[in-house]
Structure 1
């Protein structure tokens, strides 16, 4: 009986250590992209405080930092991953994440909102809100970040 308990303790310890290592390795690309983007934007702009980080994968990849500049203004910094071009926008002239989610709920009536990301489509800043519909199928609702105008819906994936 003692050998069985020792064996179970060793097995559980191995599972815990393995799970921890797997989690750290799987979250490492996100953490590195966030840190690299913050450093890149801070070097080239007056970013002083970071609030949120978004990673958007459309036809191109965009990494977005929201935060305050040295003057205390709330800003959005959208970085094109290939090329590093930074698009800076005033947060006061943009829809908030909560507004984008509210608009998606009103338009699509999803069963569950998964997340919202800032990106660019054809040099146009957008919110992409992903959700699960009533059939548990994946959907995306894309709206203009500045105006809230609907751009496209991708549903039943």
Structure 2
């Protein structure tokens, strides 16, 4: 009897594990597809040869971005609009890095837990959106320009 319960439990756990892994893989498909398409556009428009980061920004509009090295071994950032495919290519000397954006957020917001950084466009301005968790457990978004690191907006207590 105990052996039957153990076998049944093992089978059920195996089915749950396989189902969970399958669900996870299916849920990742849109992200992988967006990244693959964005990298292809970046290779064509900016000569990207190595990708270091991928970002998915979604506010008023959706933008996909890749950072990496181009054929001249320069760091570039390519921002692609989901709708219409508008593409902006920035060289490293034209924008602040993700790390710099996070540091500027910490300087202004104090002891917050930085969750994620995303890059996109507000109008024609490239921006970093830094999501963070406040001491009270609520979320916030700190937005600054990608070119200068100048503060744009801050949404708190979400």
Task: Determine the structure 2 residue equivalent to 1:116.
Answer: 117
Q: TM-score, normalised by structure 2?
A: 0.95
Q: TM-score, normalised by structure 1?
A: 0.95
Structure 1: runs of 5 or more not aligned: none
Distance in 1 between residues matched to 2:148 and 2:46, nearest whole Å:
25
Task: Determine the structure 2 residue equivalent to 1:67.
Answer: 68
Distance in 2 between residues matched to 1:132 and 1:21, nearest whole Å:
31
Tell me the secondary structure at the aligned position of residue 71 of structure 1.
coil
Residue deviations 1:26-64 (CA, integer Å, cap 9, x gap): 111111110111112223331121111111001111111
Distance in 2 between residues matched to 1:5 and 1:80, nearest whole Å:
53
Tell me the secondary structure at the aligned position of residue 135 of structure 1.
coil
Matched, 1:136 2:130: no
Alignment of 1:1-157 (within 5 A): 1-157=2-158
**Higher mean C-alpha displacement, 56-65 vs 38-47:** 38-47
Structure 2: runs of 5 or more not aligned: none
In the alignment, is the contact (CA less than 8 A) between 1:95 and 1:148 conserved in 2?
yes
Runs of 4+ in 1 over 6 A off after TM superposition: none
CA RMSD of superposed structures (Å): 1.1
